[in-house]
Structure 1
């Protein structure tokens, strides 16, 4: 493990993970045997989505009789939460695991704390997010937005994505779910899927690597409309879920979610 204000590096066998706590606590790199799996760049890697995931309709949500307006960082919507634009504090860093935290603040209207635990093993990476309320309860969501490289830069075949959703959320012209569930459609996708038994998605780079993303989360967004990468995003709720499927965080009932990426070499 090495650590600085800018990065925390974890290692297990020939696997290395780099975390940039000051850049939204994103996983900036995951190398297996020297091969990078994540798209590089300050907006890429894998960032946590908190305290909401995906698009929030017109940046507004209701909590009781109060309607809150958030900045429209992806007009006409707000997208992906505030955590990715926040500097996090490194609470603990060891050889193969680290913990990070930040305090919810403007533009989010409610005080609370967010934590992310990163645990690395020779064949897996586990990420755990939590959000807790201090005083006032509020709706919240958690998720991750990894940018997996479509190809590993060695001339090999593109990644193949395999999953079996229960349904696909019909996407409206505003890119939000309409509330209607349909059969899963072929990609390319910028779409949300329901997996009532939990997320399980296998990414295969033929003759190189197989990686499976799992989570008890029942919602998954796949985004593969860019050439460089494929995004496989476990979420605790669907896009716009603060309005359509709110899960309230209270001082005695925090929200916590984990995802594990497990790999094997082919």
Structure 2
């Protein structure tokens, strides 16, 4: 049964049993609720169909489901060719504190016998609605004795149209570079960040009219999304740890994703190779990594 919170003209629904994923984030307009994020069918059975899910203890892909760390190789036993999107998104979280403006949930990998990640970890997520702003904060803690690599992020799916299906959506997002990949293994970096091609440059507000599945580096933590025909503007702000961002804009789909994340795709392996600026954090026993992002919804209709 999803948790539900309504506050400040926003409604949030969260599924604790499916990775504490967001089922719905909607804003009020004219007495109705308009889904800002892709609304999931309920009951939600897998996080890939959610409005937003959590990425922890790593973001996006790890090449061939393995990584090296401090001289050792680790196999994750993930069911796909590449391990993807962490190890919590389809697992049950425990509900903690809930009130009229938000809720908190927790996760402990030691409670599961089939976790792929080789280091024990715990996580906590909080959701908050206030004054037209949605805030999502995530923390991962090393609960083992050995050092571990760590990362985290968020995977919100935005609706491409809030009104007519033909509606145009605009994006502004400033970054310093993009990780190159190969056609055979898209979204897996083959080197350090390079300069942007014209279709990848959103430093000035422009239509999101190209197919993308890229990880960008050197993000300033700010993004703006506009639906001019619906007269809706959303401002995304991410905390200092989230300086990578993934833009996923599949062709002929009614959604797109702007994902604030702490590290590069395949970050653990890039880090092991000595590449600087990957965003990967090494946590000693008891140490934690935190990140958050917010969405401010401006509805002028």
What SS class does the counterpart of residue 131 from structure 1 fall into? Answer: strand
Structure 1 counterpart of 2:74: 68
Deviation for aligned residue 1:181: 2.3
Structure 2 counterpart of 1:126: 135
Structure 1 counterpart of 2:205: none
What SS class does the counterpart of residue 269 from structure 2 fall into? Answer: helix
Structure 2 counterpart of 1:194: 217
Counterparts of 1:213 and 1:184, CA distance in 2:
21
Q: Which moved more, 1:233-242 or 1:119-128?
A: 119-128
Counterparts of 1:107 and 1:137, CA distance in 2:
17
The 1:156/1:35 distance shift into structure 2, 3 A limit, reads farther
Instruction: Work out which of the residue numbers 231, 237, 260 in structure 1 matches 2:263.
Output: 237
What SS class does the counterpart of residue 51 from structure 1 fall into? Answer: coil
Report 1:96-107 matches (<5 A): 96-105=101-110, 106-107=115-116
Instruction: Work out which of the residue numbers 16, 32, 55 in structure 2 matches 1:21.
Output: 16
Structure 2 counterpart of 1:3: none
Report 1:167-246 matches (<5 A): 167-173=177-183, 174-175=185-186, 176-185=188-197, 186=199, 187-196=210-219, 198-206=220-228, 207-215=230-238, 216=240, 217-226=242-251, 227-245=253-271, 246=280
Post-superposition Cα deviations, 1:173-231, rounded to whole Å, max 9, x if no partner, equal: 312112232222313210011125x3211111114211111212110000001411010
Instruction: Work out which of the residue numbers 24, 36, 51 in structure 1 matches 2:57.
Output: 51
Given that 2:9 and 2:132 are in contact with CA atoms closer than 8 Å, whether structure 1 keeps it comes out as: no
Instruction: Work out which of the residue numbers 80, 91, 97 in structure 2 matches 1:92.
Output: 97
Give the paired residue count: 259
Q: Which has the higher strand share?
A: 1
Instruction: Work out which of the residue numbers 108, 111, 115 in structure 1 matches 2:124.
Output: 115
User: Are 1:7 and 2:2 an aligned pair?
Assistant: yes
Structure 2 counterpart of 1:148: 158
Given that 1:31 and 1:37 are in contact with CA atoms closer than 8 Å, whether structure 2 keeps it comes out as: yes
Q: Which moved more, 1:65-74 or 1:55-64?
A: 65-74
TM-score (norm 1): 0.92
Deviation for aligned residue 1:155: 4.6
Counterparts of 2:150 and 2:182, CA distance in 1:
23
After superposition, the CA RMSD in angstroms is 1.6
What SS class does the counterpart of residue 139 from structure 2 fall into? Answer: strand
